Structures are given as C-alpha cells and as structure tokens.
Chains A and B, each alone.
Chain A
C-alpha cells in the first residue's frame, strides 16, 4: 500500500509498504519506486519492506541538492516510520544516499546492501540504446520480474523521475567527499552487481569492498543493471541469506 509521511523541512515522503517482520528500507534508483516490481512482495514474505520515494521523485515533495542531504531526509523518514535500525537496500542512483546514511547514522543501519551503486562510476562506455525497448532491456534484462507488465504510464513516470532528478544526483566533486568516508561504514555490507550491467560496469564495485571494512561483493552472472528486477530470485535469496546468516553468509550450504 502507498502512504505518505510529513517530515521537518517541508518534506512530504510517499512510500510503499508491504509485509511484516524486521524493517527493510529500499532506496530506489533513478527511475523511482516501481509499483509492479515482484521483489517487493517477495521480500515482504520475510520483512516489513518500506520503499520511500526520495525528495523530488514520484509523489514526494521537496528537493535535495546532494546525496548527503537525501540521506539526512531519509534518516528522518526512518525515525518517523520505524524508530529503530533497519536493513537498508540501496540501488543504483540511491546507492550514494544509502552509503551516506550508513556513514552519518550508524545506529539506524543494521546491515547495508548496495545494488550496483553508481556513486563513483563514470558514464557507461556502452553506446546509448537506440530504442525505449532496448533501454528497458539494458536496465531489466530479458526476463524482468514484474507482478504485471509495465504500462505506458509506468514508463512515463520512470522517465520523468530519471530526467528530472539525474542531473543533481552527484555533488559537484563527484561524491569525492563520500569516497573519503566509506571506511566509516560500520554495518556489514553486501555489494551486488550483474556481470551484464551496461549502465554501471561491474568493475565499479571494487572500490566499495576496498574501503568498507566489513563488506562482501557478489556478482550475479548474466544479470542486467537493475538486479531486483533483472535477477529477482537471486537478489531476494542473497539479501535474505545475508541478513539471516550474518557472518555465516560466506559458508556454503550447497555445492
């Protein structure tokens, strides 16, 4: 269901909520929160999933100049809706805000999953897709996991979110300030990337495991950029395994 919450500073945050259990907050990418993404109900079988639209996206109001400011607003959101630590999953353009939140508010983040975060990556070297369908395939792969097929309105909303917010997703110095503080992230961190990611290349994930002390990186073979949609079963299984097993996550349970 979709709800809204008012926060200090004229921010009204729209968020979707599904499921029960430990709170898990999902920070969307440049396209916003997808109403029909199958990973939401899948994670909702184990967790109380809250997916806020950050300021300027979809029905959320207010604007933030930097990812750090976004993180500060999201900290208020978590205090208002959960009032305690959450498992934080931050995808693509939401990755920088997720990292900032873990740096600034360590008490609010019990674990962090970064999904192809674009915080420090340069532009993709792959040629721009010629068609909307090709762009969709680049983002979501050949077998996207939707609860129902996206409508033209969904596509228009995704495009609107991306075009109106993308120019300010990075601070002027390319998140260099965040790069210097990644080592302060205390939460156990899982970095996920698809090997077929043509939006942010998998090599961009190295810096996160270099700098975040308690971090792991998993590559999902053949998966496109938006892993929650392009590789939904693997994404849900890895996130759940990481949260549930803690350090034991690295021990094999199958060949």
Chain B
C-alpha cells in the first residue's frame, strides 16, 4: 500500500467569519498567504525525504479552504521540491477548464518531474460549478468529452482538430507531450456509477475522496464488478482513497484527544452548503444517483459525527501506530485501495505537523508498504 501526502494549501485562520461563499477576498492578507505557501512547500520537501510515495494536490476556488486555484502551478512548484515521489494532481476540474490547456499543463508537469506525474482528471465538488458558470447538468458530458480530448492530445502525434458537443478546435498539437508513454497513470473520481463504468471502459484508476467507507464501498465494489465483467483486473495502485486526516500518537487515547476537538465540528460554511445544494439540484449528479443528490441536499443539517462514528466510517486515521495500521488494513480489505491520500493539515502548527509526518514515516510507513 502506498501513501500519498496531500498538500491542500489552506489559507488558515480568517480574521472574520462570514459564513458566506464565495468568501470575500477583502479578508485576504498577502503575508499570510505567502507564509502558507512557503511552509507547505517545506512540507513537500520533507514528505519526499521521508519516503512518502506520492505527493498530491487538488484544484479549489473562491475560499480560504485552499489557495490552489491553479493546480498545475502547484504541481510545478512541487516538482522543484520533491526529487523522488510521484506527483499526483487530483486534479484539475476538467469540465471547468479548457481541456487542451489542461493537457498542456499536465504534460509540462510530467516533463518538469522527469515522468512522475499521476494525472487525476476530476469533475469537482458541486459548488465549483458556480465559479466559471458551467451548467451543472452538462458536467458529465463535458467531462467525458474533455477526457477523450486530453487523452488524444497526449497520445496523438500529428496535429488534429476536434469537433465535439462542447469543444471545438481546428488545431491541437501540444508541446511538450508527456514523457510517460503511451499515457501517464490516470484517475478519475468515482462516487457515481457512471464514473466507475467510464473508468472501466478506459482502463483507468478510480479516486474516492471526500467520502467515507460506507459510501465508498458500494462505489469500489461496482468498479471491480464492472472491471471483472469486462475482463480487466485493476492494479492495487488504481484505487485511491482519501484524503484522510492523520492523528498519530503513542497511544490511542492520546491520538483521540488530539483529534476530537478538531473533527467534531463542521468545517462547511452555510454559504458553501447552499452552493453545493443548488448545484446538486441543478442536475450535477444526473438521474442515476439519487443518493448523492440527497446527501448534498441534507449536508449540514445534522450535528457533526462523533469521533467514534468517523472512525467507524473510515474518515480519518487516529490512534497508535498499531491502530492506524489496522485501520489501513481495514480500508484495504473493504475498498481494495492501494493508495491512501493522507492529510496532515489538522490545524496544528508547522512544528507539530512536521513532527506528525516524521512519526508517521517512522512508525507506520514501512509496515504500510507491506500491506
């Protein structure tokens, strides 16, 4: 089992809590942003030195939750600090972006990293569709067409044009092409049946993020069923689960004491909950996934789950090294996941975060690799 260190670039504390989304950027303070970005790139270098297998990043918009509005820029920065680990972009939000531009930027990251790109191409969370005014009901068809276009741009070696439902180009001939041939490893997000079917048709990996074991298990099971029916056996590295907060201590009690005040609160502002609901109700999930629609319609209406409930649902890693390894073993058994995306951004200061990374690398990572 592999460990992917997730760099989320959180802005941190905002001087005024508005509850709104988008969060007004009059609250943005440049010095804080510069410090955040600088410290997270230090984490990247440390993760690489400590032996984490992958380093991951993801695109988000209009909120201090993440400053990674251009994930390719973040990945390019990672290439300059991580000399060994694979760089996993999870991912650009394909329907929101120019797909040829995404193909170009990812290819450049692959070159800058010497062929270490893992290419996640995602649809994104519902609220992101308010950022560039993309109709949510077109998300699926835009994603599938854009995916085909990106894969073609990476693999075709003569100029071509594209006439599609959503995209029209007379010339595509990207420079550079990716180093990895014929294609870099590719993932898509896989909470819906359509995603699993698409991944199996294209023989690509599945990413299960911002979910829990109860929701992810049916999705993973469906993915493996579809793969089996088509005569394909995905490799363990082709299922990623995350991004799991990590609370590791000498004892389970110490770890739970660290985690409880941080996880038993809601981190989603009412404005973002509303944005998610509005987009979900505008057809983002399509007619085949009523359970996903309901999840976003009711999100935030219940009290936050207790730490014990979240542990039961596999939403974080928490405990002693032995306990965390048992939690990882359980995830492997339930989902067949071979890569776990780990989030060390638990609200602690930089010294404590780095100490947690070192502890994980020392006490968990070697045995995790054997799972």
Contact = CB atoms under 8 A, between A and B. Distances in A.
Interface in A181-220: 195, 203, 205-206, 209-210, 216-220
Given A217-B158, A217-B160, A250 B170 contact: yes
Nearest to A238: B163
Contacts of B162: 218-219, 221
A222 B157 CA distance: 20
Interface in A62-78: none
Contacts of A254: 168
Contact of B148 (A206, A217, A221): A221
B161 interface: yes
A171 to B, nearest CB: 25
A222 B164 contact: yes
Contacts of B159: 209, 216-217
Highest count of chain B CB atoms <10 Å: which of A222, A238, A251, A252: A222
Given A221-B164, A250-B171, A195 B152 contact: yes
A252 B160 contact: no
A252 B168 contact: yes
B31 interface: no
Contacts of A195: 148, 152
Contacts of A219: 152, 160-163
Contacts of B158: 205-206, 209-210, 217
A218 B152 CA distance: 12
Interface residues of B, number: 18
Q: Which of A210, A219, A220 has the most CB of B within 10 A?
A: A219
Counting chain A CB atoms within 10 Å of each CB, the highest count among B159, B160, B164, B165 belongs to B160
Interface string A211-236: 00000111111100000000000100
Interface string B159-184: 11111110110110000000000000
Nearest to A209: B158
Given A195-B148, A203-B156, A206-B156, A249 B164 contact: no
A25 B148 CA distance: 33
Nearest to A223: B163
Given A249-B170, A252-B168, A218 B163 contact: yes
Contacts, number: 52
A249 to B, nearest CB: 7
Interface in A238-255: 238, 249-252, 254-255
A121 to B, nearest CB: 15
B163 A221 contact: yes
A221 B170 contact: no
A216 B161 contact: yes
Contacts of B149: 221
B237 interface: no
Contacts of B156: 203, 206
Contacts of B164: 220-222
B345 interface: no
Interface string B131-153: 00000000000000100110010
Interface in B94-150: 145, 148-149
A246 to B, nearest CB: 13
Residue among A217, A221, A252 with max Cβ neighbours from chain B (10 Å): A221
A252 B171 CA distance: 10
Nearest to B164: A221
Nearest to A207: B158
A210 B159 CA distance: 9
B163 A252 contact: no
A209 B173 CA distance: 12
B138 to A, nearest CB: 14
Nearest to A194: B163
Contacts of A205: 158, 160
Contact of B163 (A210, A220, A251, A255): A220
Nearest to B167: A221
Contacts of A218: 160-163, 170
Contacts of A216: 159, 161, 170
A255 B156 CA distance: 23
Contacts of B165: 221-222
Contacts of A203: 156
A217 B171 CA distance: 8
Interface in A24-45: none
Contacts of A251: 170
B170 A206 contact: no
Nearest to A216: B161
A251 B169 CA distance: 9
Q: Specify which of B148, B158, B168 lies most central, judged by the most chain A CB atoms within 10 Å of its CB.
A: B158
Contacts of B148: 195, 221
Contacts of A252: 168, 170
Nearest to B155: A203
Contacts of B168: 252, 254-255
A248 B93 CA distance: 33
B75 to A, nearest CB: 27
Contacts of B163: 218-221, 234, 238
Interface of B: 145, 148-149, 152, 156-165, 167-168, 170-171
11 contacts: A195-B148, A209-B159, A209-B160, A217-B161, A218-B160, A218-B170, A219-B162, A221-B162, A249-B170, A252-B170, A254-B168
